[in-house]
Amino acid sequence: MDSGKVKDNNKVLLAIGAVAVIAIGIQSSQSDKKPKAAPPPVVKPAKPVGIPDWQRTSVAQDDVKKRLRDPASAQFSDLTVRNGVVCGQVNSRNGFGGMTGPQQFISRLGVMTVFKDDVAGDGFAKTWASVCP
């Protein structure tokens, strides 16, 4: 074989190799531009179906008012709902026409409403600490 033909064949092979390298480079750069698969959606647990907090609060206020001397004077504050239990404070007029001052209460949806003064010892305080903020 002639050395000139070998050089020509080598040039052709080099040219083919260069074209192949360029083609592979273009392919890989285009594959980088393809949109990547989106991560799976985050599934949040569904909110338990039941009575909404505002309704629990309303029922608790009604229950508390039933126990007051002057229900129309009730002023509620610090109302929170935790695990279906309503905690809060109420201030209302006493039998002498003066305000009693804030009284803590815990109410469980019409089943039971307890004032701090209803429970002797530290039972109410322990319950408040575990259920209420």
pLDDT in tens, 9-63: 555 444 454 444 454 555 555 555 556 666 655 555 444 458 888 889 999 999 9
Answer yes or no: is 123 within a domain. yes
Number of domains in the chain: 1
How far apart are alpha carbons 60 and 110 in whole angstroms? 7
pLDDT at 11: 54
CA 73 and chain centroid, separation? 35
Question: Does 2 fall in a domain?
Answer: no
For 51-100, the pLDDT digits (tens) are 888 889 999 999 999 988 999 999 999 999 988 899 999 999 988 888 88
In a domain, 117, yes or no: yes
Sign of CA dihedral 20, 26, 30, 31: positive
Angstrom distance (rounded) from CA 86 to CA 132:
8
What does the pLDDT read at residue 76? 92
Residue 20 within any structural domain of the chain: no
The C-alpha angle 84, 88, 90, rounded to 5 degrees, equals 135
Mean pLDDT across 123-133:
84
Gap between the Cα atoms of 130 and 113, Å rounded: 16
Note down the domain range covering 127: 53-131
